[in-house]
Amino acid sequence: MNTQSPLIELRNVSMDYGSGKDQMLALEEIDLTIAPQDFVCVLGPSGCGKSTLMKIIAGYQQPTTGEAIFQGEPIQGPDWHRGVVFQSPTLYPWLNVKDNVGFGPNIRGLDKKEVDRISDHFLEQIGMLKDKDKAVFELSGGMRQRVALARVLANRPEMILMDEPLGALDALTRLNMQTLIRDLWQENKNTVLMITHDVDEAMSLGNRLIVMSKQPGKIIKTYDLDYTYQALKTNNHRVNIDSTYLEIKNEILDLINTDLNSPASIETSKK
Ligand SMILES: Nc1ncnc2c1ncn2[C@@H]1O[C@H](COP(=O)(O)OP(=O)(O)O)[C@@H](O)[C@H]1O
Ligand SMILES: [Mg+2]
**pLDDT tens column, 141-180:** 999 999 999 999 999 999 999 999 999 899 999 999 999 9
Mean pLDDT for all residues in the chain:
92
| Cα–Cα dist 265/216, whole Å | 10
269 shares its domain with 200: yes
171 shares its domain with 265: yes
Lowest-confidence segment of 125-134, 188-197, 231-240 by average pLDDT? 231-240
pLDDT number for residue 270: 39
Nearest CA to ligand 1 atom 5: 17
On whether residue 9 sits in a domain, the answer given is no
pLDDT at 1 over 80: no
228 shares its domain with 263: yes
pLDDT number for residue 3: 58
Looking from the CA of residue 55, the nearest atom of ligand 1 is 17
pLDDT number for residue 257: 84
On whether residue 22 sits in a domain, the answer given is no
Looking from the CA of residue 48, the nearest atom of ligand 1 is 22
136 shares its domain with 255: no
Neighbours of 240 (CB within 10 A): 10
| Cα–Cα dist 261/46, whole Å | 12
Nearest CA to ligand 1 atom 8: 52
Ligand 1 mean position, distance from CA 27 (Å): 9
Q: What is the dihedral of CA 172, 174, 175, 181, to 10 degrees?
A: 150
Nearest CA to ligand 1 atom 14: 49
Ligand 1 mean position, distance from CA 15 (Å): 10
| Cα–Cα dist 202/128, whole Å | 26
pLDDT number for residue 88: 85
pLDDT at 85 over 80: yes
pLDDT at 262 over 60: no
Q: How many domains does the chain have?
A: 2
Residues whose beta carbon lies within 6 Å of some atom of ligand 1: 17-18, 26, 44, 46-52, 215, 268
Segment 93-116, tens digit of pLDDT: 999 999 999 999 999 999 999 999
Ligand 2 mean position, distance from CA 133 (Å): 33
Confidence of residue 263 (pLDDT cuts 50, 70, 90): low
**Cβ atoms 58, 161 nearer than 8 A:** yes
Ligand 1 mean position, distance from CA 125 (Å): 34
- Residue 177 is part of which domain span? 36-63+73-81+159-271
Segment 25-66, tens digit of pLDDT: 999 999 999 999 999 999 999 999 999 999 999 999 999 999
pLDDT number for residue 140: 94
Mean pLDDT throughout 219-242? Answer: 93
269 shares its domain with 241: yes
pLDDT at 203 over 50: yes
Ligand 2 mean position, distance from CA 113 (Å): 38
49-81 core/surface letters (b: 16 or more CB in 10 A; e: else): bbbbbbbbbbbebebeebebbbeeeebeeeeee
Ligand 1 mean position, distance from CA 12 (Å): 19
E strand or H helix at 208 = strand 208-212
On whether residue 21 sits in a domain, the answer given is no
Ligand 1 pocket mutation pick from 13, 17, 218 by most atoms within 8 angstroms of CB: 17
